[in-house]
Amino acid sequence: MIGVFDSGLGGLCALCEIHRLLPRESTVFLADRENAPYGERSESELIRLVSRDTERLALSGADRILVGCCTACTVLDKIPRELSELCTSIIEPTVREALSLTATGRIAVLCTEATKRSRIYERTALSIMPSAEAVTYAAGGLVRLVEGGMSDACIDDGGRERLSSVLSGLNLAGCDTLILGCTHFSHLERTLGDVLSIRTVSAARAGAEYFSKIIMKKSRGS
């Protein structure tokens, strides 16, 4: 069984992709809303929470876990190995997709404060393409807007204004691609692409696509 987890609604975007791409697989989803937002947690708190989330999913029968939370991915190498071995991170496939699309080699990343602090996107981009540059911007305010019910399907002019004010410090100079580096932001992918006039790459979608390929390859091999 496939497990997917997040602090909240963001992981649902990854889960929906899994249902679309692997419709015959059973899934179990965990949203740790009690401890959200993860983006405001310290590294040691994240290690504790992510260890517990993955352990819970494993105890529920998940033998493969898609980490539907970019913030959680930042500590996967620090949780017990028997748990991290079950997990697939969504960071690298997302960065690979963005780097395959950019013409300028300079990509922007919208993420949580904890993800920005970890510098995981910068490190991953450099390891794939040494000439690449990833510019990260923390927009934890967007997580709250999404948890409050804002989405592409449900946004009015007032919502667009609130969105613009959360993003007012964002400088996309020289960037032609924006990674939605927090899965919550995929709920606003169309709106963000429109408001910012930039191509977007969703970590929830790119991560789920990568994960599905692994699962399909495995089931063909077995």
Report, as residue numbers or ranges, the catalytic residues.
69, 182
Minimum Å distance from CB 150 to ligand DGL?
14
Q: Which residues contact ligand DGL by CB under 6 A?
A: 6-8, 10, 36-39, 69-71, 112, 115, 143, 182-184
Residue closer to ligand DGL, measured from CB, 177 or 183: 183
CB of 147 to ligand DGL, least distance (A): 8
Q: Which is nearer to ligand DGL, 36 or 109 (CB)?
A: 36
In angstroms, the CA 110 to CA 179 distance is: 6
Minimum distance from residue 11 beta carbon to ligand DGL (Å): 7
Pick the closer one to ligand DGL by CB: 105 or 113.
Answer: 113
Q: Are 192 and 160 contacting, i.e. CB atoms less than 8 angstroms apart?
A: no
Kind and range of the H or E run holding 38: none
Q: Which of 165, 217, 179, 215 is nearest to 2 (CA)?
A: 215
CB-based contacts of 48: which residues, under 8 Å, 6+ apart? none
Closer to ligand DGL at the Cβ: 45 or 131?
45
Which of these, 20, 73, 25, lies nearest to 179 by C-alpha position? 73
Q: Are strands 177-180 and 27-31 parallel, antiparallel or unpaired?
A: unpaired
The minimum distance between CB 29 and ligand DGL, in angstroms, equals 13
